[in-house]
Structure 1
Amino acid sequence: MISVDNIAVEFSGQVLFSDVAFVINENDKIALMGKNGAGKSTMMKIIAGEQKPTRGRINAPKDAVIAYLPQHLLTEDDCTVFEETMKAFRGYFSMKTELEALNQQLSTRTDYDSEDYMKIIEKASDLGEKFYSMEEVNYDKEVEKALLGLGFKRTDFTRQTSEFSGGWRMRIELAKILLQKPDLILLDEPTNHIDIESVIWLEDFLINKAKAVVVISHDRAFVDNITNRTIEVTMGKIYDYKANYSHYLQLREDRRQHQLKAFKEQQKFIAEQERFVERFKGTYSKTNQVSSVERMLEKLEIIEVDEVDNSSLKLRFPPSRRSGDYPVIAKGLTKSYGDHVVFKDANMSIERGQKVSFVGRNGEGKSTMIKAIMGEIEFEGECGLGHNAEVGYFAQNQASLLDPDLTVFQTVDEVAKGDIRTQIKNILGRFMFSGEDIDKKVSVLSGGEKTRLAMVKLLLEPVNVLILDEPTNHLDIKSKDILKEALKEFDGTLILVSHDRDFLTGLSEKVFEFKEKRVIEHFETIDDFLARNRIENLKQIDLMA
């Protein structure tokens, strides 16, 4: 059991949260929720020991292992993927080396009656008891299973970690954490850089093999599937629910309605007392009563109502010209990089108005196909856009294409047309830009802020073909809901690459699966494909176990 005891955090006189207390039990699977800036990541860093609170402390058993996966990692590049992952067992191998050194001393020293010799015996005995009580494990096999489950190929095992992107390095760190079998796993946005199959593998691991877990995630399906408890950080306090995310939303709304009712009753009571004071102030016979009421009002603690975004902002893509019958076509498409074949003889025809999903493990060619459609790379065969296709393209590097000299407001204002211009501040607010944020230059924004801004800009441009490559990585759940509703009502053609299953659900009627150098067309909804795919993947997981 790990306890958070009356934690408080203050920055420059501003209180982030105060007197927060809760207990993490052995098998709790907790979703840490709250709006951006509420203090979720700060809370997680404090539990991990990465940051000190202003007041309070974390209490944990002396031998408890707490493993923390932050959103951003600083990794070294001095070994292979397999060697780096094997560092998960560094403690075991360090203990083994130390025990061997102690035994070596015992076998070579002859001062059997000395105090030093007795200390070595005692230390070797204590360490040996701990070492030999540990479960015997085939460490190579465990590393292999973890890496394969998280999407690596065996040929990747001997590659240097420096050859991999930040997302893949995140997977290496995640594999190390899972292999340590910690008492508590802390995960801050773990699904941002892994594909659907790897998310399914991670879910299975956390549900069936992990002990306690605390996760921050904007992936609703992920948190619903793995958690049995939700802790909401809001207005400097926490609310603890024995429920997963979807059930928590219902309970939170019930709580807010009770707060609202109590607040209204309190305001009515205050108004009545103030009228009494106003009426009888200066009346000699009521002096004591008036003073008593005034003191009571001064001490009265005003009921707070939880923050909630009640705006009913709804975004629609502006109208554009009608495209041809087949705005996207590929015939006999082959793409290779040297000897490496990404896909071969791919055929694809997407009709006007169709919404399709590209799915498959990372590295199987989804983004490569999009680049071929957009004419950004060379290839063999035919591929391109059809008649009157006006494309809105959100690439994974879309943030880097924004004009750094414009402000946030100017970036959106230059593409907004008509009545929508009167709603720019509201739109930006729903995508987490408020107050002074809208006057910031793009050049000073973080990577996540630039990604969100690029998404807002895309939502306001008139297009009839939308191509979105991992658009949700830096969007919170509310922003994703806004985007999803806009896409549902979009009457053009949609190509969507995403590993967020909740976001994908209900969005496409056809699936193109990228697998083993092929592009396989599935005439089924993304919901049906994911349901079938999950079953098949769980079977594969069982075989790997």
Structure 2
Amino acid sequence: MILLQTANISKYFGAKQILKDVNLTIQSGEKAGLVGVNGAGKSTLLKIITGQLTPDTGGVFVANGLTVGYLSQDTGLESRRTIYEEMLSVFQQLIDQEEQLRKLEEMMGMDEVKADEARYRRIMNQYAQLSDTFRDQGGYRYRSLIRGVLQGLDFPELDDHSPVSLLSGGQKTRLALAKNLLIKPDLLILDEPTNYLDIRSLSWLEQHLQSYPGAVLVVSHDRYFLDKVVSKIIELEFGAATTYKTNYSGFIDLKAQQQETLLKQYEQQQEEIARARDFVQRNIVRASTTKRAQSRLKALEKMEPLEAPAVTQKKVHFSFAIKRPSGKEVLQAAGLQIGYPGVQLAGNITFLIERGESVALLGPNGIGKSTLLKTLIGQLDPLGGTIRKGSNVSIGYYAQQQEKLNPDKTVLDELWDDYRLMDEKDVRTVLGNFLFRGDEVYKKVRDLSGGEKARLSLAKLMLEKANLLILDEPTNHLDILSREVLESSLMDYSGTILFVSHDRYFLNKMATRVMELTPSGIRNYPGDYDYYLEKQSGQQTEIQETKEPPKPQPGKQNYLESKEQQRLERKRQKRIEELERLVSQTEEAIRRLEEELEKPEVAQDYAACLKLSEELNQRKSDLDLYLEEWVTLTEE
């Protein structure tokens, strides 16, 4: 049965067309994912479907009596009730029935009712009918359902009676999701429901939606989530919608095959057209071949030209480099205690991170992961214990909430003010690589979307050229294409990475070691994310950083070693190429400086001569370091 259908929906904002003749269908019980790059119009389409926006052309058609639940992006539940009271309000009809049952029970216990057999029988029948209705509608299960959903979305029982008004923005969004799940509408529409969920809550939501009796239309950049939940992908690209009856991984394969087929067909037709035109030009004027040429010309005119496959959507383009390598031991903590004055979140945190590692920091929401990162970079003071940075360590920090950005600056000034020695042309080139083009560089930071702020923060991080990257949810607000570019850039990065993420694709691709933060310290898992999950699902042995970690089984050990060796070899080759480029550039700079110093006008200017000499000495020092590192890496 068709629950919802859109017919040729188009939408303009000013002169810009966002949606173009969009057609989609949602069947009862269907689980569909809506995907596309940031700005493709996904949220706009959902608002049109839910009646919050009106399309310029086209319409939305829904089944009679359809109930729709809608969770918009980053919009939380506002209420004066407590958490539990707000969830109980979903079942007001059952609560009223329950009160009526209690009243009937009281009446059946009254002596005057018992004495009146007819009245007693009438109340008994009424009680039996209402009891059956109450049972059939879930009256004996709704309280346990509330508990299950609240616990699944990380609302502990102790917090059930907290006022909704005291919750954070993320908690209010999770509560809005919980209420929608309890209402159980025929069609549940979710816009980025995974933004404020930790990995445990994500897994619970996946399982819940898999068995959800209604239909689901979900926008998400979480590729794991889409693969687990949906069986149909609707892609918005260049304003148009294309449907693929598969999960996300299947969609990627199908689209690649489709693009390849379309490109081949287009190229074959272009070759055929070129051959026909060439034949006509060579033979149209010759009497012996003019009829054949005219016949080919008519066939050419009748040919239905194929459109060239749409160009790939614009995507960010960047890579991370380092100024100079760190020592082998990069970051060490011993007996570290983190939190705020009077409130300790975790203690006994002990670990060592070495050069070249890519370490994932995991743990449930509220355990203190972001607090630990802020403590490591010096933004917060430790409550106890020590932190030691290794030699030559320079830290680049990516903040989850982009609080390092100044909301009053333009995009151009936000970047240029930190790198004043860069030419405006070079600053604009960097911003262009992060999709800030033309007049977009004059937008105020406060007016940027979450994805745009994330791209701007990454641009600033790239220019730092730090050899230790500490990243707090770097994939949040990035579309799937941008996440894949970020993954590729970090895989080629020759420095060290410590990161927090809920993106399980990203975790599995990036992590060479997992550190799980607990209130009593660190549990260490010497492998990738799959290895961590394997240990979590089995009989888990807690591995403290201070103890010798157990060795994985031989097959897993070989796999991990092979994966790590390949990653390190890619980094080594990448760094060698970078060093060779730096050596060449530095030698050229030294040559130019020596030529400048030989000029008579410079030799007579003491200040200029001193400045050039200092720069020359620095360049020679840099060259020695580059050559020394190059020799070490090539000998490896």
The reply to whether TM is greater than 0.5 is yes
| Aligned mate of 2:224, from 201, 221, 226 | 221
Query: Where do 5+ consecutive residues of structure 2 fail to align?
Result: 104-128, 541-636
Distance 1:205 1:132, change over 3 A: closer
Distance 1:363 1:536, change over 3 A: farther
Find the counterpart in structure 2 of residue 468 from structure 1: 471
Does the alignment pair 1:3 with 2:1? Answer: no
Within a 5 Å distance, the mapping from 1:177-256 to structure 2 comes to 177-256=180-259
Find the counterpart in structure 1 of residue 56 from structure 2: 54
For residue 27 of structure 1, give the secondary structure of its aligned residue in structure 2: coil
> What is the letter of the counterpart of residue 478 of structure 1?
L
1:91-131 CA distance string (max 9 Å, x none): 65578899999xxxxxxxxxxxxxxxxxxxxxxxx999987
Q: TM-score, normalised by structure 1?
A: 0.81
Find the counterpart in structure 2 of residue 332 from structure 1: 335
For residue 484 of structure 2, give the secondary structure of its aligned residue in structure 1: helix
1:241-282 CA distance string (max 9 Å, x none): 11111111121122222322333355456667888699989x
> What is the letter of the counterpart of residue 386 of structure 2?
E
Using the TM superposition, give the Cα deviation of residue 309 of structure 1 relative to its aligned residue in structure 2, in angstroms. 4.5
Q: TM-score, normalised by structure 2?
A: 0.70
Does the alignment pair 1:380 with 2:384? Answer: yes
Distance 1:15 1:69, change over 3 A: same
Which protein is richer in helix relative to its size? 2
| Aligned mate of 1:43, from 42, 45, 48 | 45
For residue 236 of structure 2, give the secondary structure of its aligned residue in structure 1: strand
Does the alignment pair 1:401 with 2:402? Answer: no
Within a 5 Å distance, the mapping from 1:416-495 to structure 2 comes to 425=429, 428-429=431-432, 431-495=434-498
| Aligned mate of 1:347, from 331, 345, 350 | 350
- C-alpha distance in 1, partners of 2:415/2:91? 49
Using the TM superposition, give the Cα deviation of residue 293 of structure 1 relative to its aligned residue in structure 2, in angstroms. 6.6
For residue 401 of structure 1, give the secondary structure of its aligned residue in structure 2: coil
- C-alpha distance in 1, partners of 2:65/2:131? 17
1:182-225 CA distance string (max 9 Å, x none): 22221111112111111111111111235321111111111112
Using the TM superposition, give the Cα deviation of residue 75 of structure 1 relative to its aligned residue in structure 2, in angstroms. 3.5
- Does the Cα contact within 8 Å between 1:511 and 1:522 map onto a contact in 2? yes
Using the TM superposition, give the Cα deviation of residue 401 of structure 1 relative to its aligned residue in structure 2, in angstroms. 2.8
- C-alpha distance in 2, partners of 1:150/1:164? 14
- C-alpha distance in 2, partners of 1:155/1:42? 38
Find the counterpart in structure 1 of residue 31 from structure 2: 29
Find the counterpart in structure 1 of residue 91 from structure 2: 89
Using the TM superposition, give the Cα deviation of residue 475 of structure 1 relative to its aligned residue in structure 2, in angstroms. 0.9
Using the TM superposition, give the Cα deviation of residue 517 of structure 1 relative to its aligned residue in structure 2, in angstroms. 4.2
> What is the letter of the counterpart of residue 323 of structure 1?
S
- Does the Cα contact within 8 Å between 2:406 and 2:414 map onto a contact in 1? no
- Does the Cα contact within 8 Å between 1:8 and 1:16 map onto a contact in 2? no
- Does the Cα contact within 8 Å between 1:343 and 1:518 map onto a contact in 2? yes
Using the TM superposition, give the Cα deviation of residue 175 of structure 1 relative to its aligned residue in structure 2, in angstroms. 0.7
- C-alpha distance in 2, partners of 1:58/1:98? 41
> What is the letter of the counterpart of residue 3 of structure 2?
I
- C-alpha distance in 1, partners of 2:306/2:96? 57
Query: Where do 5+ consecutive residues of structure 1 fail to align?
Result: 102-125, 538-545
- C-alpha distance in 2, partners of 1:216/1:138? 30
Does the alignment pair 1:175 with 2:185? Answer: no
| Aligned mate of 2:311, from 282, 307, 311 | 307
For residue 327 of structure 1, give the secondary structure of its aligned residue in structure 2: strand
> What is the letter of the counterpart of residue 449 of structure 1?
E
- Does the Cα contact within 8 Å between 1:399 and 1:451 map onto a contact in 2? no
1:18-54 CA distance string (max 9 Å, x none): 4433321223221112223222222222223332323
- C-alpha distance in 2, partners of 1:355/1:453? 23
> What is the letter of the counterpart of residue 164 of structure 1?
L
- C-alpha distance in 2, partners of 1:248/1:399? 36
- Does the Cα contact within 8 Å between 1:150 and 1:194 map onto a contact in 2? yes
Distance 1:437 1:8, change over 3 A: same
- C-alpha distance in 1, partners of 2:132/2:23? 37
> What is the letter of the counterpart of residue 7 of structure 2?
N
Of the two, which has the highest radius of gyration? 2
- Does the Cα contact within 8 Å between 2:74 and 2:170 map onto a contact in 1? no
- C-alpha distance in 2, partners of 1:277/1:409? 57
Does the alignment pair 1:63 with 2:40? Answer: no
- Does the Cα contact within 8 Å between 1:95 and 1:127 map onto a contact in 2? yes
Within a 5 Å distance, the mapping from 1:266-345 to structure 2 comes to 266-267=269-270, 303-309=307-313, 315-337=318-340, 340-345=343-348
- C-alpha distance in 1, partners of 2:40/2:409? 30
- Does the Cα contact within 8 Å between 2:410 and 2:442 map onto a contact in 1? no
> What is the letter of the counterpart of residue 154 of structure 1?
E
- Does the Cα contact within 8 Å between 2:38 and 2:478 map onto a contact in 1? no
For residue 32 of structure 1, give the secondary structure of its aligned residue in structure 2: strand
Does the alignment pair 1:389 with 2:390? Answer: no
Distance 1:455 1:267, change over 3 A: same
